């Protein structure tokens, strides 16, 4: 759905209101897809356009897309494009929407990216359980072949279940026939990645923005959204909202508008206690920060010690135990660790155990201090990937957002509110 009701008026770029079923090649072309003017542009012009647009990665890191393209193009060929559609974030559904409903938008973005960096191979990294996504992309690719469009060598690589399987080096490992586990850097993917070649790893939503940038120009792309990260974002609203689902909104939109106007507010009309503004990696944002003007913008959220991540917003109302959500999230990180780094293997479990004891009112004397020390000093940036950093974000921000509840529970006075997880795909 588009952001109907949100204060900012705009024309959706990625979502099609009321669409049901896969968009065909003919329908996509009627909307301006595969415009001949886009394909006449030389690679260096494509790279310059994307750089000038200010497009940032939509997979979680928000890294400038143009810089990424320039880095890959500067490496000696042959080069590879890896389209990351694994979407292992449990609270996210945006990439699945694009892959099943608008596969040609994704494929045109991928083909333009491949042209921009002169990649002869395109790898489509998709969920092993995502039969609908795989079928949709295969059908769209076959339509392009039947239309006589020249295409790079391509193949689908399936991603196993697991939170870290979508991390870029884990995706590369899987494409190289190994287990989908993160690899230590260097080398970085743009230097040596899939098939041992310089590799551009790009998220599905990021690529879906590229055709519009190339067709309409950098200034048109920058016309909406925030100055530091222009454009729109696909959001997946979940938790205790009345209207969960995938929406599109300009960057910089107040989160309060998103929760109230798009999500319809909380299901029981109780105040928002807290939310995860960017997926499970992002950290906890308080309801007070939401109401005080926090925005859908990386810089705004950074002021609150959280990140924009993949745009997956999970809303927790005041009517349930907030500590139950915090414990569920830390236990999720502990379960999903691939156990190849000691600090992650033991640190995620230690933090989950400490917060779990606090939550049930039976803490050890130094559990609060242990959580502060682990999440603030001892564990951040100690693993091969960002999984441990996600866990420390969750612990550190929980200590702040749920400070009053932690103090109450630590004295053995539990809140008495329902003890259940509202996080998609996560059980207590």
How does pLDDT run across 229-276, given as a tens digit for each residue?
999 999 999 999 999 999 999 999 999 999 999 999 999 999 999 999
CA atoms within 13 A on the CB side of 311: 29
**Is 417 a domain residue?**
no
Query: Both 61 and 177 in a single domain?
Result: yes
pLDDT at 4 over 60: no
Confidence of residue 9 (pLDDT cuts 50, 70, 90): low
**Is 260 a domain residue?**
no
**Is 102 a domain residue?**
yes
Instruction: Check residues 15 and 299 and name the one with the higher pLDDT.
Output: 15
pLDDT at 144 over 60: yes
Instruction: Check residues 99 and 302 and name the one with the higher pLDDT.
Output: 99
What percentage of the chain carries pLDDT values higher than 90? 85
What's the average model confidence in pLDDT over 203-223? 97
Note the pLDDT of residue 2. Answer: 47
Query: Both 203 and 341 in a single domain?
Result: no
Query: Both 180 and 72 in a single domain?
Result: yes
Location of structure tokens 């016309």: 223
CA distance 339 to 335: 9
Which residue, 173, 205, 222, sits at the end of a domain? 222
Of 188, 161, 183, nearest in space to 170 by CA:
183
CA atoms within 13 A on the CB side of 82: 31
Q: What is the mean pLDDT of the chain?
A: 94
Note the pLDDT of residue 28. Answer: 97
**Is 278 a domain residue?**
no
| pTM given for the model | 0.95
pLDDT at 7 over 60: no
Which token pair is 109?
Answer: 């973005």
pLDDT at 18 over 90: no
Note the pLDDT of residue 102. Answer: 98
Quick one: how far is CA 207 from the chain centroid? Answer: 13
- β strands within 106-264, DSSP E: 119-127, 153-159, 199-203, 232-239, 245-250
**Is 199 a domain residue?**
yes
Residue span of the structural domain in which 375 resides: 322-410
**Is 424 a domain residue?**
no
pLDDT at 342 over 90: yes
Contacts of 392 by beta carbon, 8 Å cutoff, 6+ apart: 347, 351, 374, 375, 376, 379, 380
CATH number assigned to the domain comprising residue 347:
1.20.1440.230
CA distance 15 to 185: 36
Query: Both 210 and 339 in a single domain?
Result: no
Note the pLDDT of residue 145. Answer: 96
CATH number assigned to the domain comprising residue 206:
3.40.50.11540
Confidence of residue 1 (pLDDT cuts 50, 70, 90): low
**Is 3 a domain residue?**
no
Query: Both 334 and 211 in a single domain?
Result: no
Which residue, 174, 204, 222, sits at the end of a domain? 222
Which token pair is 345?
Answer: 């293997």
Total structural domains within the chain = 2
Tens digits of residue pLDDT in 394-425: 999 999 999 999 999 988 888 889 899 999 99
Note the pLDDT of residue 3. Answer: 47
**Is 259 a domain residue?**
no
Query: Both 71 and 182 in a single domain?
Result: yes
Alpha-helical (H) ranges within 9-157 are: 25-30, 36-39, 43-53, 65-73, 94-101, 103-117, 131-146
Tens digits of residue pLDDT in 348-362: 999 999 999 999 999
């Amino acid at each position: 759905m588009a952001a109907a009701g949100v204060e900012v008026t705009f024309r959706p770029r990625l979502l099609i209101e009321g669409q049901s079923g896969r968009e065909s090649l003919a329908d996509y072309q009627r909307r301006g897809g595969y415009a001949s003017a886009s394909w006449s542009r030389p690679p260096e012009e494509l790279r310059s356009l994307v750089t000038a647009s200010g497009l940032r990665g939509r997979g979680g890191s928000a890294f400038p897309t143009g810089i990424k393209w320039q880095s890959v193009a500067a490496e000696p060929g042959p080069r590879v494009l890896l389209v990351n559609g694994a979407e292992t974030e449990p609270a996210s559904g945006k990439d699945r929407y694009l892959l099943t409903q608008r596969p040609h938008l994704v494929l045109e973005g991928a083909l333009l990216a491949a042209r921009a960096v002169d990649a002869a191979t395109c790898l489509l990294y998709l969920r092993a359980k995502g039969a609908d996504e795989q079928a949709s992309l295969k059908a769209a690719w076959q339509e392009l072949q039947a239309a006589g469009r020249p295409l790079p060598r391509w193949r689908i690589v399936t991603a196993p279940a697991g939170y870290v399987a979508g991390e870029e080096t884990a995706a590369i490992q899987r494409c190289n026939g190994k287990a989908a586990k993160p690899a230590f850097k260097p080398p970085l993917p743009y230097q040596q990645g899939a098939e041992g070649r310089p590799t551009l790893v790009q998220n599905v939503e990021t690529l879906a923005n590229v055709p519009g940038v190339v067709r309409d120009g950098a200034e048109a792309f920058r016309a909406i959204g925030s100055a530091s990260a222009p454009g729109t974002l696909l959001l997946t609203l979940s938790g205790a909202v009345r209207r969960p689902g995938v929406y599109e909104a300009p960057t910089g939109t107040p989160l309060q508008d998103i929760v109230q106007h798009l999500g319809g507010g909380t299901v029981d009309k109780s105040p928002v206690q807290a939310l995860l503004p960017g997926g499970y990696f992002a950290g906890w944002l308080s309801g007070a920060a939401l109401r005080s003007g926090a925005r859908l913008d990386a810089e705004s959220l950074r002021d609150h010690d959280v990140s924009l991540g993949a745009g997956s917003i999970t809303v927790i109302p005041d009517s349930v135990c907030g500590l139950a959500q915090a414990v569920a999230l830390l236990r999720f990180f502990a379960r999903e660790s691939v156990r190849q780094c000691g600090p992650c293997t033991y640190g995620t479990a230690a933090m989950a155990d400490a917060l779990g004891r606090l939550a049930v009112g039976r803490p050890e004397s130094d559990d609060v201090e242990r959580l502060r020390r682990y999440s603030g000093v001892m564990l951040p940036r100690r693993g091969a990937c960002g999984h441990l950093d996600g866990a420390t974000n969750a612990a550190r921000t929980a200590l702040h957002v749920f400070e009053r509840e932690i103090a109450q529970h630590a004295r053995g006075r539990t809140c008495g509110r329902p003890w259940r997880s509202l996080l998609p795909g996560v059980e207590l």
